[in-house]
A and B are shown apart, each in its own frame.
Chain A
Amino acid sequence: MFNIQYISEILPSLLSGAMMTLQVFGWTIVGSLILGVFLALGLVSKFKPLQVIIDAYVWLMRGTPLLLQLIFVFYGLPTIGIVFPRYEAALFAFILNYAAYFAEIFRGGLQSIDKGQYEAGRVLQMTYWQTTKKVVLPQVAKIVLPSIGNEVINLVKDSSLVYVIGIGDLLRAGNVAAARDVTLVPFILVGIMYLVLTGICTFFLRRVEKHYSYFK
């Protein structure tokens, strides 16, 4: 069964599954990075109640399985009248979950910058935002990149969890073909496609890291 003809027969459905995987991946990255930055600013702010709330949020999101969160949003919330379509439910759960991880990563990055850098900016009459933008954020970006990269790779694979709420992603496409044709080939193809996706991500992450290697 491991022949070119069979592969070309199932490839279209696998590719359309991969497109769904990429969509979940792409929107989650965009949404959770933005949300994560704001949560991190909240975590380092001096406003205690905000800190406590975000801490609790992060604890909840990182302390329970993403699979449970996904099932809870899609199958659980409708019992109290909150209904999300499948795709929206997946994005909602993924963005909330990944934003918590990113918030912690950004918080660490922000806190690792010497307070003296702000003071140096201040005695040069620069405003807080000028110093943040020109001096602090480039340093934070460099520091957090490796950790962000880890999460990005994780997300490529975690996106397969949408399987449980019936979304036709790459893994589901492979599983359907494997069950129908009683063969391992689709699983192997699915594995290869995940490897390609994570390989591309790794390549781009390295490029970005290299961009920041001009300073230490």
Chain B
Amino acid sequence: MLELKNVSKSFNGKMIINKLNLKIEDGKILTIVGPSGAGKTTLLRCISGLEKIDSGQFLLDGQQFDPFESRDNESVIGVVFQDFQLFPNLSVIDNITLAPINVLNQSETQAKKAVGEIIDRLGLEEIINQYPYQLSGGQKQRVAIARALAMNPSILCYDEPTSALDPELRNEVSKLILDLKENGITQVVITHDIEFANKIADQTLTVKPVK
């Protein structure tokens, strides 16, 4: 379980997150909804360690930890970016195994074997030797999810998972997220799409811009 206690963050004197308290239960889906400019993405960037919080603390299973400083080779938080940010110079399989090989020091064979199940589950077998420019938006997203899962994160976060895709794919995404939940993966989903959020959420946090 991830717990946020009194977390605050401001940019250039403008308060974005003000003393936020939040609990993310294991195996559940938390959605964060709200208008743009309300600080949803900032919150995700703080949780994933891309921004340093000004005050407050994070507790993971009761233990205090700092995602910004944490560099102990344990990927606590996985992130699926809005624009996926796949590595264009690497094939799908290399995108997925790059971090296990370089960070966890697995051999190439070990890494490929270890991610076999993830590739299976996300239906990527047929495209593992393709390059990102050859993939559709939905495929790119599944590769991004596989790449994050390969590092065994405690929590998987999504930034607007429906925004870069065709509207028809919205149901596919919700099905995928619910499938992963079946497999016991804790997920945090940022979205401005309330209908989509309602479909997947166990718990919803509604954020507003700080006045």
**Residues of A near any B CB (own CB < 8 A):** 114, 116-117, 119-120, 122-126, 130, 134-135, 138-139, 142, 214-216
Contact = CB atoms under 8 A, between A and B. Distances in A.
A211 to B, nearest CB: 12
Contacts of A116: 81, 83, 85
A125 B99 contact: yes
A120 B103 contact: no
Nearest to B131: A215
Contact of B85 (A117, A125, A130, A215): A117
27 contacts: A116-B83, A117-B85, A119-B81, A120-B86, A122-B49, A123-B49, A123-B75, A123-B78, A123-B79, A123-B148, A124-B98, A124-B148, A125-B71, A125-B73, A125-B103, A126-B98, A126-B103, A134-B98, A134-B102, A135-B87, A138-B89, A139-B88, A139-B89, A215-B131, A215-B132, A215-B133, A216-B131
Interface residues of B, number: 28
B50 interface: yes
Name, among A123, A124, A125, A135, the residue most crowded by chain B CB atoms within 10 Å (CB to CB).
A123
Interface of A is mostly: helix
Contacts of B71: 125
Contact of B75 (A114, A124, A215, A216): A124
B162 interface: no
Nearest to B67: A123
Nearest to B94: A134
A123 B89 contact: no
Contacts of A214: 131
B48 A123 contact: yes
* Most chain A CB atoms below 10 A, which of B75, B98, B147: B98
Contacts of A139: 88-89
Given A123-B49, A134-B102, A215-B132, 11 more contacts: A120-B85, A123-B77, A123-B148, A124-B75, A125-B99, A126-B98, A126-B99, A130-B102, A130-B103, A135-B90, A216-B133
B193 to A, nearest CB: 22
A111 to B, nearest CB: 17
Contacts of B77: 123
